[in-house]
């Protein structure tokens, strides 16, 4: 096989890395949840079996979408955003939305729970990519109204972490579309004010912010969660305590199989394992970045940019909250955290990214729209 043929199929790494990360995640979902599910359900494999089903469905969806022309996804832009809004409203209706730990974020489908906010992330990417494909980037007020409406529905669940991710993805795509930076800067005070109001509107959000500066704040609440994460890191040390030897999985660490799964991972594999995981995730993001800059048409560039932001921001926010760089959030770690809807949507987006990377179709005579766009960059009007 020649070097040319190898380099031309570099995007095959977008198949393999998510599968590797998910297989690792399945093991740690079992590790971090088996004690709990034995006590509550009598089945140590309860969560891992559900995650495995979504894993298989996700792989099927990924292979299908990798062969599906990404330019045709534009036809699903409006239906997907409308459907997402309907689901976001439905989940707030008692009897339709399932309430767990004070949050109404899921719809019980009988065989599994569906989380509408995860669908919103992908819908926003598809919709905004279609919007910015036609260079409708000066409609700052329409953009702000749509974004605030979606964020308000998600905050009503409440789910500040997801609202924050959707906000950052949306603003990031708006910036990459070549928006006038003056318009984008005008949005900063509004988002700062919104963040301040939401932080004070619920006691637990303020407690999370306070625990960032004082680990002993609220020792039986959010402070307890933060302390258990730190204990897991301390136990892990440089090489970790070994596979299956985690002590924090014995119900010490809350939500160990979901948002805090990285703490169990570090406890068992130590700094070396954490470094290897971050390195593998960085390689995956590099290939997504390569997909974006080599996009052959404007829609592919905008769609790919949204996918890159989706994985990059979620990984960054989750790891930053685990290491106390930001307040603790409920943002899952891609491919690792338990959550069927999130895992399935992630594989769907990977499939779309592969199709963008393998596409040979150009919308103009330039070799790569994305490269020209990034070189020129956004401009500030005088």
Query: 197-209: per-residue pLDDT in tens?
Result: 666 666 666 666 6
Q: Which pLDDT does position 113 carry in this prediction?
A: 78
pLDDT band for 379, please (50, 70, 90 cuts).
very low
| DSSP result, 276-333 | HHHHHHHHHHHHHHHHHHT-SSHHHHHHHHHHHHHHHHHHHHHHHHHTTSS----PPP
Question: Taking residues 360-368, what's their average pLDDT?
Answer: 49
Kindly tell me if the per-residue pLDDT of 6 is higher than 70: no
Q: What is the pLDDT of residues 32-50, one digit of tens each?
A: 998 888 888 888 899 999 9
Q: Which pLDDT does position 314 carry in this prediction?
A: 95
Rounded (5°) CA angle 52-257-50: 25
**CA 297/CA 372 separation, integer angstroms:** 11
Q: Which of 165, 198, 199, 136 is nearest to 346 (CA)?
A: 165
pLDDT band for 146, please (50, 70, 90 cuts).
confident
Q: 84-89: which pairs have CB atoms within 8 A and are 24 or more residues apart? A: 84/116, 84/119, 84/120, 84/123, 84/124, 84/150, 85/149, 85/150, 85/153, 87/114, 87/116, 87/119, 87/120, 88/116, 88/117, 88/120, 88/150, 88/153, 88/154, 89/153
**CA 174/CA 166 separation, integer angstroms:** 12
Domain boundaries, the chain: 3-376
Q: Which residues contact 368 (CB under 8 A, 6 or more apart)?
A: 293, 294, 295, 296
pTM to 2 decimal places:
0.87
């Amino acid at each position: 096989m020649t070097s040319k043929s190898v380099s031309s199929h570099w995007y095959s790494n977008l198949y393999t890395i998510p599968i590797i990360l998910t297989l690792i995640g399945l093991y740690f979902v079992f590790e971090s949840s088996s004690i709990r599910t034995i006590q509550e359900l009598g089945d140590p494999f309860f969560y891992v079996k559900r995650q495995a089903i979504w894993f298989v469905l996700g792989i099927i969806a990924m292979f299908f979408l990798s062969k599906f022309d990404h330019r045709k996804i534009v036809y699903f832009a409006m239906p997907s955003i409308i459907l997402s809004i309907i689901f976001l409203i439905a989940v707030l209706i008692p009897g339709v939305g399932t309430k767990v730990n004070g949050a109404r974020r899921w719809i019980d489908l009988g065989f599994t729970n569906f989380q509408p906010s995860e669908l919103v992330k992908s819908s926003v990417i598809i919709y905004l990519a279609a919007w910015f494909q036609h260079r409708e980037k000066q409609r700052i007020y329409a953009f702000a109204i749509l974004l605030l409406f979606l964020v308000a529905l998600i905050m009503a669940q409440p789910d500040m972490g997801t609202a924050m991710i959707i906000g950052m993805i949306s603003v990031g795509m708006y910036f990459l579309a070549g928006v006038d930076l003056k318009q984008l800067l005008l949005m900063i005070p509004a988002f700062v004010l919104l963040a301040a109001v939401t932080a004070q509107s619920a006691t637990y959000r303020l407690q999370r912010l306070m625990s960032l500066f004082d680990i002993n704040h609220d020792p039986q609440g959010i402070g307890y969660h933060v302390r258990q994460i730190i204990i897991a890191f301390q136990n892990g040390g440089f090489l970790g305590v070994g596979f299956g030897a985690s002590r924090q999985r014995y119900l010490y660490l809350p939500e160990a199989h979901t948002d805090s799964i990285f703490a169990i991972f570090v406890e068992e594999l130590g700094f070396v394992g954490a470094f290897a995981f971050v390195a593998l995730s960085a390689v995956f993001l590099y290939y997504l970045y390569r997909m974006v800059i080599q996009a052959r048409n404007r829609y592919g560039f905008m769609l790919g940019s949204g996918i890159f932001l989706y994985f990059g921001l979620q990984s960054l926010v989750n790891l930053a909250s685990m290491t106390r760089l930001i307040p603790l959030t409920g943002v899952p770690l891609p491919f690792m955290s338990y959550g069927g809807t999130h895992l399935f949507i992630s594989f769907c987006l990977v499939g779309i990214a592969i199709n963008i990377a393998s596409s040979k179709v150009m919308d103009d005579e330039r070799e790569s729209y994305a490269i020209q766009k990034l070189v020129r960059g956004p401009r500030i009007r005088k």
